[in-house]
């Protein structure tokens, strides 16, 4: 039985034994977990196909931001990585947690136990999880038995099969923004400048991180001051988190670099640069200046914390945040 270092022992070590395909059945799962797992595989320059079945949708549905995260992962193929996700839509709901590793058609190893495919299950030291080895062939057979009761997350009519729920939160003072309840409580809000201390956009940092020879010019990050990083407002230690934006987009972000100074899109650092350029109606790859931000009407971005893995990001323009 495995009760410690689950991530490495269950989700990484089989890759070094020749496995290249992972079949997962998990009652609950998160796109942030899948993103973090994929990042770790890419960091090791390994190849893998991940096939995920999420089991509890018939009774619990699925949050829209999670669904959008899974959609983004299926559409964002990274080098050597393929990701597919399916939702169980016919009763009974499936609460199992099974991980089956194969090398093409050859079984390698498998695990069954209590750990959902989520970040808390694999990293939270304040909770106990256990997984035990089992027959890879039996685990894969179980995965196959569930497939007829599933629908792909990118099916054009997926909302006809499962219930997608809105995620939000309320607090002392609140206003409704479509699907979300946006709190004005300052304890849950941080505003980050997109400018350097000198009042300009970095020449080769921040939104212009990729503006150098040999780099993809859209690569970018949101500067994170060390005093804010140390408050614990944003999750650290390579944890991925979901951001829902004011224009109804969904991004998976991570704090990284020395002294936790940057908020990036970890699977593709160009995504966040493309996002801000698109909001400002700038061509992809163009250097961003302070004038571009001022012409748009804003030089900062506000984050509202919903929970430890979910944030709301506001880059909208109004009279209260024009050039602060």
Q: Are residues 124 and 77 in the same domain?
A: yes
Instruction: For 103-131, write each residue's pLDDT tens digit.
Output: 999 999 999 999 999 999 999 888 899 99
Residue 324 inside a domain? The answer is no
- Considering 102, 128, 156, which residue would you say is the last residue of a domain? 156
Q: Are residues 67 and 189 in the same domain?
A: no
Residue 204 has pLDDT above 90, yes or no: yes
pLDDT top residue among 63 and 142: 142
Name every residue whose Cβ is closer than 8 Å to that of residue 90 and which is 6 or more positions away in sequence: 58, 149
pLDDT band at 75 (very low <50, low <70, confident <90, very high): confident
The arithmetic mean of pLDDT across residues 219-246, rounded, is 94
pLDDT digits (tens, 9 = 90+) for 1-58: 999 999 999 999 999 999 999 999 999 999 999 999 999 999 999 999 999 999 999 9
**Stretch 233-243: mean pLDDT:** 93
Query: Quick one: 145 and 248 in the same domain?
Result: no
Judge whether 35 lies within some domain. yes
Q: Are residues 180 and 145 located together in one domain of the fold?
A: no
CATH of the domain at 10: 3.30.870.10
What pLDDT shows up at residue 318?
A: 76
Residue 167 counted as domain residue: no
Find the CATH number of the domain harbouring 270: 2.40.330
Say if 168 falls within a structural domain: no
Least confident of 41-55, 161-175, 259-273: 161-175
Same domain, 187 and 131: no
Q: Is 267 a domain residue?
A: yes
Return the minimum-mean-pLDDT range out of 41-45, 99-103, 310-314, 315-319: 315-319
pLDDT of residue 162: 94
Where in the sequence is the domain holding 260, given as residue range(s)? 174-314
What mean pLDDT do residues 164-190 have?
Answer: 56
Q: Do residue 35 and residue 145 come from a single domain?
A: yes
| Contact in structure between 249 and 240 (CB atoms under 8 Å) | no
Residues 18 and 144 in one domain: yes
- Chain-centroid distance of CA 205 in Å reads 23
CA-atom Rg of the chain in angstroms: 21
Please state the rounded mean pLDDT for residues 269-296: 96
- Count up the domains in the chain and report the number: 2
Residue 244 within a domain: yes
Q: How large is the average pLDDT for residues 258-282?
A: 94
pLDDT computed for residue 259 by the predictor? 87
Q: Are residues 84 and 198 in the same domain?
A: no
Residue 169 has pLDDT above 60, yes or no: no
pLDDT band, residue 185 (cuts 50/70/90): low
- Does a structural domain hold residue 321? no
- Please indicate, yes or no, whether residues 198 and 109 belong to a single structural domain of this protein: no
Is 41 in the same domain as 138?
yes
Tally of CB atoms within 10 A around 209 = 24
Number of H helices, E strands in the chain: 10, 18
Q: What is the pLDDT of residue 228?
A: 94
Burial class (CB in 10 A: 0-12, 13-18, 19+), 114: middle
Token pair in block for residue 43: 């960091």
Judge whether 58 lies within some domain.
Answer: yes
């Amino acid at each position: 039985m495995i009760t410690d270092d689950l991530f490495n022992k269950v989700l990484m070590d089989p890759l070094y034994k020749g496995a290249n395909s992972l079949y997962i059945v998990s009652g609950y799962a998160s796109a942030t977990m899948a993103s973090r797992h994929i990042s770790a595989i890419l960091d090791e320059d390994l190849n893998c196909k991940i096939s995920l079945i999420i089991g509890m949708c018939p009774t619990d549905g699925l949050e829209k931001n999670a669904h959008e995260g899974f959609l983004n992962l299926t559409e964002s193929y990274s080098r050597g990585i393929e990701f597919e996700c399916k939702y169980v839509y016919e009763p009974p709901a499936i609460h199992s947690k099974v991980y089956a590793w194969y090398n093409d058609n050859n079984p390698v190893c498998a695990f069954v136990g209590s750990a959902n495919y989520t970040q808390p299950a694999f990293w939270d030291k304040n909770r106990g999880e256990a997984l035990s080895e089992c027959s890879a062939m039996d685990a894969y057979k179980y995965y196959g038995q569930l497939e007829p009761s599933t629908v792909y997350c990118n099916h054009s009519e997926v909302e006809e099969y499962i219930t997608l729920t809105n995620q939000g939160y309320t607090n002392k003072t609140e206003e409704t923004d479509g699907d979300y309840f946006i709190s004005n409580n300052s304890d849950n809000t941080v505003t980050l400048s997109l400018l350097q201390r000198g009042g300009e956009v970095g020449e080769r940092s921040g939104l212009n991180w990729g503006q150098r020879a040999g780099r993809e010019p859209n690569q970018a990050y949101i500067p994170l001051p060390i005093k804010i990083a140390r408050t614990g407002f944003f999750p650290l230690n390579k944890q991925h988190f979901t951001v829902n934006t004011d224009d109804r987009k969904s991004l998976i972000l991570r704090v990284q670099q020395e002294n936790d100074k940057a908020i990036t899109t970890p699977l593709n650092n160009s995504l966040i640069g493309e996002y801000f350029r698109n909001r400002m109606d700038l061509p992809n790859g163009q250097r961003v200046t302070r004038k571009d931000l001022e012409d748009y009407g804003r030089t900062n971005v506000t984050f509202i914390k919903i929970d430890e893995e979910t944030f709301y990001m506001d880059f909208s323009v109004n009279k209260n945040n024009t050039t602060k």
